[in-house]
Amino acid sequence: MLLRLCFANQTDTDIDKKKQVSVSLHLSLQTQSAPLSTTVTCCTMLKSTFTPMYWFLAPKPKPQKLSSNLIKNTFSNSTPNVRQNSSLKQNPIINPTSAYIHLPFCRKRCHYCDFTIVALGSASTQTHDDPRVINYVQWLCREINATKMEEKPAPLQTVFFGGGTPSLVPPSMVSNVLETLKMKFGLSESAEISMEMDPGTFDYKKMQEMMLLGVNRVSLGVQAFQEKLLKSCGRAHGLEEVHEAIDIVKKCGVENWSIDLIASLPHQTSEMWEESLRLTIEAQPTHVSVYDLQIEQGTKFGKLYVPGEFPLPSETQSADFYKMASKILCDANYNHYEISSYCKNGYECKHNYTYWKNNPFYAFGLGSTSLIGGLRFSRPKKMNEYTKFVQNLENGLINSSSDNNINSKDTATDVVMLSLRTARGLDLKRFQESFGSSLVLSLLELYKPYVESGHVVFLDEQRRTIRIDDTDNSLLYETNSERRVAYMRLSDPNGFLLSNELISLAFGVIDSWKDYPSALQEAT
Amino acid sequence: MFYKNIINGDDSRDGKESPNYLLNLIDTPGHVDFSYEVSRSLAACQGVLLVVDAAQGVQAQTVANFYLAFESNLSIIPVINKIDQPTADPDRVKAQLKSMFDLDASDVLLTSAKTGKGLEHVLPAVIERIPPPPGKSDSSLRMLLLDSYFDEYRGVICHVAVVDGALRKGDKISSAATGKSYEALDIGIMHPELTPTGILFTGQVGYVISGMRSTKEARIGDTIYHTRSTVDVVPLPGFKPAKHMVFSGLFPADGSDFEALNHAIEKLTCNDASVSVAKETSTALGLGFRCGFLGLLHMDVFHQRLEQEYGAHIISTVPTVPYIYEYSDGSKLEVQNPAALPSNPKQRVVACWEPTVIATIVMPSEYVGSVITLLSERRGEQLEYSFIDSQRVFMKYRLPLREVVIDFYNELKSITSGYASFDYEDSDYQQSDLVKLDILLNGQPVDAMSTIVHNSKSYRVGRELVDKLKKVIDRQMFEISIQAAIGSKVIARETITAMRKNVLAKCYGGDVSRKRKLLEKQKEGKKRMKRVGSVDVPQEAFHELLKVS
Ligand SMILES: Nc1nc2c(ncn2[C@@H]2O[C@H](COP(=O)(O)OP(=O)(O)OP(=O)(O)O)[C@@H](O)[C@H]2O)c(=O)[nH]1
Ligand SMILES: [Mg+2]
């Protein structure tokens, strides 16, 4: 856990501090498990006034730690025996093989958006000479280069350019970033390189250049197929650009591409939503993302609208939109593989799967969050703080990864939350290996009534549905593998629709999970 | 207090110094819940100052307190206060006092505590008109135990009135009620702080510290005497014990806090022995306590002290009065907890009785119509109706206690814009057509929500309860039915439709922490709920039900 504090006027040029800091950092991490320890280590900055300072705070008293190794194994498809692989010291950090790159530039802010973006102005379609973009990409590359790693970096398997509007950035600069990544970590031949692209920000030539650089997956921000809706949510493009963009992507022969849609927009009717889904299917993307509009505080929509009230759809309508998407897309042979993601067979977004499997990933750029060694680390959201952060990283004053001590409760919570969002669901065998059978049994117990109500599905090893009416309490120890629960998932669409409810129920179970000793024993 | 009675401003008339008087003043609470304290204070007094507001005139409390004093044969000094107020009308109030109580206008003192006007006549009147205490100083010691409280450092401190004889520091004393003996470790008077005197004489009111551990040993109304004189002491009449008018369940708001609540209640009752406490178990709310109170204000004060002084978070069930049920086999059951009453009893119920009160209400005559309507809605029976003067009406009613306990006074005040005053004293039980009203969530009765109501009101109350619950219970994953039922007959029903959608569409690398926080919050929300069967009931639901009459 990391807490960022700003200290005014902190000047300290004592080089020895550096060493001292890294030493005490080490100490603080070792004492993390001491009860009530709030061991604080501060890293002072060089040659700067008004420097942000980074405090590494030991998390609240945590009863037990697991190695990140172990966490990783919860999902890795090759299953090395956990017990053989549990030495905590020798093999501390597993290097991520995924990288998220944040390119924050947009022409203007959409009315629903509360992301970390930099609005360049509606006229900015050409950005190759915009100093804001040039400078930013330089800082970005410096950040990549300054990242500390274990000896042998594993080549990246996925890279994701997200934003903002990455397609606003000139290919030459994208090239710089990719080259930097390649030099630093290596880039697998078969890596999935995705880019979020908005209609109206690229032409045929730009698309082709991006492809030449290695971009092989496009996530097209269409959002809606109605001129009126595009306008009312403040998109910088119209319907014509949407069709153009789809044509370009198809003409360029991008094999793997996604259309991103938003459901439950203000004034959206079910006819409009059906039309958007139909036109999406006609465009034949390999992937479709369907996001529900979230009304965020501080956005224009947040000021104008109240969820569930006109002109926003009611909760019932909004649920119907969700069900409609699920029905229509599944009928068109898309797999609903995650709450908001659909794809043709084999076209899951590998990069996003990294997140949902709780696997580690790098992140570079303004406001981005990485997961390395079990630590979620968020970069500053303000440009001047971000550039200082990069300087400090270069000077070795901060480290965006952590040790391998992760609180098992936190990890269990993340694993449950993320995996239940997917159609694959929670792999109980792996989960049990990491966290013990008592927790698994409590989860089974918790969800049983929801299996009956059709919100949760229990599956066996072969992923066949297990009927609850003929099971007893020994769901987990059942010797007959046909009746042993191997996975639990939320049903589509009813379970997915109430996923917050269902997942927070599981949080409650994990919260009151007291069986640490046995979990620890099994884990080590 | 000591008071030097200076007559005509001359301290040394006839060369003699004015005599010094020791006066003991007891302030009495104005609220009806504590009228019990008024009557026990009167037992230690020879006279009273009956203070009436010059603008408002005679109030229900004035009537109630006048009769308490009158029946105790105390000298009554009427005082009309607040004569400084622009709306003051002392002559009118004098006329009221004459017509209501036959108090002579010439005996009435006029004062303003604000300007000080007339105050100089108050204490001389006390000395002239109120006789000294009548006790026999040469008899053996008899003391009336008036009050007691617990002091963190000194233990139990008893307030006593020495009726006969005298008490010296170090004397061995005994209680007539418990037979226990103590040593008078410290004695003295309230001046107004505890002031040791080493001796208390006949007629004095003072304090005694005697090493009692708990106020439970100090029974209010007890007679205390010298241990050595056991044989010849006749105990004083004492008081009837404080009557618990209202009972309610108290449960920790967070189930795990039971021990903390237990501790808090123990400490608090150490100081306020007028609360009765018994353990109670509810399927909906878990382990808790059934507590008896003198009235609703008393209950509120107790709740507040629990929360403020002991940081206890509590859920209170709907207050109930003690009913008596009689069954066909002749057995009788006093019901302090509706949940304890079988909804479908094996024995036939032959009769039910409910406690009643005699209420006194004084109000400006223009409100009579609406007040009478309220009183008949509350099943009241008129006993008396008269005019205090041309503008004010005085009424006496018999009312079921239950109807008074829940929100009556607030409603009375609101329909009379605060101009009505109200007081009551407890009275007999009356036979009544009572039914037990159950609340069911998804078919499962919630014990902590059941109430006993008059049959004629059961439909209205059932409907109101169901509507209130529908408002406070959030939609959940399943449809929820809320029913009010008498026995197996459902009299009101509502459904809360199932939640349709609660999902966050996006969850990528950067959102994980944020999304997780959101779900953690949702989880915490669930924790604060009470689970009844499959339904999560927010704690506010219980608070809301308190307000249904
Ligand atoms: N104008 C005016 N106000 C007064 C006078 N005497 C008391 N008050 C006000 O009347 C209010 C009530 O006074 P209290 O002394 O609390 O009355 P009480 O009878 O002891 O009330 P309870 O103990 O609640 O029954 C306070 O706001 C006093 O300031 C007076 O002579 N003139
Ligand atoms: Mg007072």
Q: Say whether both A497 and A430 belong to one domain.
A: yes
Rounded to the nearest 10 degrees, the angle between the axes of helix A408-419 and helix B512-527 is 100
CA distance A412 to A430: 11
Higher pLDDT, B69 or B548: B69
DSSP, residue by residue, B7-64: BTTBTTGGGPPPPEEE--------SGGGHHHHHHHHTT-SEEEEEEETTTB--HHHHH
Please indicate, yes or no, if residue A323 is contained in any of the structural domains. yes
Domain closes at, from A338, A356, A374: A356
Give the E-state strand segments of B404-529 in sequence order. Answer: 421-431, 434-441, 444-445, 451-454, 480-486, 489-496
Residue A128, in any domain of the structure: yes
Higher pLDDT, B533 or A163: A163
Measure the CA–CA gap between B78 and B103, rounded to whole angstroms.
8
Taken in order of first residue, the domains within chain B and their CATH numbers are: 6-129 (3.40.50.300), 142-226 (2.40.30.10), 246-316 (3.30.70.870), 324-432 (3.30.70.240), 435-545 (3.30.70.2570)
| Tokens standing for residue B233 | 């002491």
Average pLDDT, chain B: 88
The pLDDT assigned to B468 comes to: 92
CB atoms within 10 A of CB A111: 18
Q: Choose the final residue of a domain: A340, A356, A372.
A: A356
Please, which pLDDT band fits residue B220 given cuts at 50, 70 and 90?
confident
Mean of all residue pLDDT scores within chain A? 81
The domain of A347 spans: 98-356
CB A160 within 8 A of CB A214: no
Return the pLDDT at B532: 81
- DSSP run (H or E) holding A318: helix A315-331
- For residues A335 and A478, state if they share a domain: no
> Is B389 labelled a binding residue?
no
pLDDT on residue A9 = 36
Proportion of chain B in helix, strand, coil states, percent, rounded to 5: 30, 35, 35
How many domains are there within chain A? 2
Q: What is the pLDDT of residue A73?
A: 39
What's residue A45's pLDDT?
34
In this prediction, residue B502 carries a pLDDT of: 87
Q: Which residues contact B519 (CB under 8 A, 6 or more apart)?
A: A417, A500, A503, A504, A507
- When CB atoms are compared, the residue of A363, A418, A498 closest to B503 is A498
- Beta-carbon count within 10 A of B499 CB: 18
Q: Which of A500, A505, A511, A512 to mutate to test the interface with B (most CBs of B within 10 A)?
A: A500
CA of B205 from ligand 1 middle (Å) equals 26
In sequence order, the 6+-apart residues with CB closer than 8 A to the CB of B71 are none
Residues A271 and A160 in one domain: yes
Closest CA to B200 of B131, B145, B266, B278: B145
> pLDDT tier at B15 (50, 70, 90 boundaries)?
low
pLDDT digits over A316-359, tens only? 999 999 999 999 999 999 999 999 999 999 999 999 999 999 99
- How does pLDDT run across A381-428, given as a tens digit for each residue? 999 999 999 999 999 888 776 655 567 888 899 999 999 999 999 999
Distance CA B380, CA B403 (A): 9
Find, among B282, B248, B277, B274, the residue nearest to B264 by Cα: B277
pLDDT reading at B200 higher than 60 = yes
Q: What is the pLDDT of residue B237?
A: 79
Q: What is the dihedral of CA A296, A300, A303, A305, to 10 degrees?
A: -80
Instruction: Enumerate residues 6+ apart whose C-beta is below 8 A from B367.
Output: B415, B416, B419, B420
Residues in A 219-248 with any Cβ partner in B closer than 8 A: none
Residue A183 lies in a domain: yes
* CATH number of the domain that residue A224 is part of: 3.20.20.70
Matching residue, tokens 């793997």: A256
Residue A420 and residue A299 share a domain: no
Whether residue B500 contacts residue A315, with contact meaning beta carbons closer than 8 Å, is answered with yes
pLDDT at A14: 39
What is d(CA A483, CA A477) in angstroms, rounded to the nearest whole number? Answer: 9
Residue B96 pLDDT exceeds 70: yes
Do the domain assignments include residue A501?
A: yes
Contact A418 B507 (CB under 8 A): yes
Mean pLDDT value of segment B408-433: 90
pLDDT over 80 at A376, yes or no: yes
A192 shares a domain with A315: yes
pLDDT exceeds 90 at position B318: no
Question: Looking at the domain assignment, is residue A66 inside a domain?
Answer: no
Same domain flag for A423 and A344: no
Q: Is there a contact between B526 and A504 if contact means CB atoms under 8 Å apart?
A: yes
From B321, B338, B322, B339, select the one nearest B282 (Cα to Cα). Answer: B339
* Helix-, strand-, coil-residue percentages of chain A, each rounded to 5: 40, 20, 40
The mean per-residue pLDDT over the stretch A306-310 comes to 89
- The answer on A419 and A282 residing in a single domain is no
The pLDDT assigned to A193 comes to: 98
Angle between helices A437-452 and A516-523 (to 10 degrees): 110
Looking at the structure, tell me whether residues A350 and A472 fall in a common domain: no
**Of A316, A338, A356, the domain-final residue:** A356
pLDDT at A78: 39
pLDDT of residue A206: 96
Residues A341 and A426 in one domain: no
Average pLDDT over residues B158-187: 91
pLDDT computed for residue A367 by the predictor: 94
User: Is-contact B23 B17, C-beta < 8 A?
Assistant: no
Q: What is the pLDDT of residue A497?
A: 95
Between residues B269 and A333, the one the model is more confident about: A333
ipTM for the complex shown: 0.77
A375 assigned to some structural domain: no
What's the CA gap between A367 and A376, in Å, rounded?
A: 12
Q: Is B506 annotated to bind ligand?
A: no
A423 and A323 within one domain: no
pLDDT in tens, B109-140: 999 999 999 999 999 999 999 999 988 888 88
A345-354, B203-212, B527-536: least confidently modelled range = B527-536
| Shared-domain flag, residues A316 and A432 | no
Residue B20 Cα to ligand 1 midpoint, Å, equals 29
A65 and B CB contact within 8 Å: no
pTM: 0.70
Weakest mean pLDDT among A142-146, A176-180, A512-516, B266-270: A512-516
**pLDDT value, residue A125:** 63
Residue B104's pLDDT is: 94
Better pLDDT: B542 or A59:
B542
What pLDDT does B297 receive?
81
Instruction: State whether A136 and A241 are in the same domain.
Output: yes
C-alpha B216/C-alpha B213 separation (Å) is: 8
- Ligand 1 contacts CB of residue B114 (under 6 A): yes
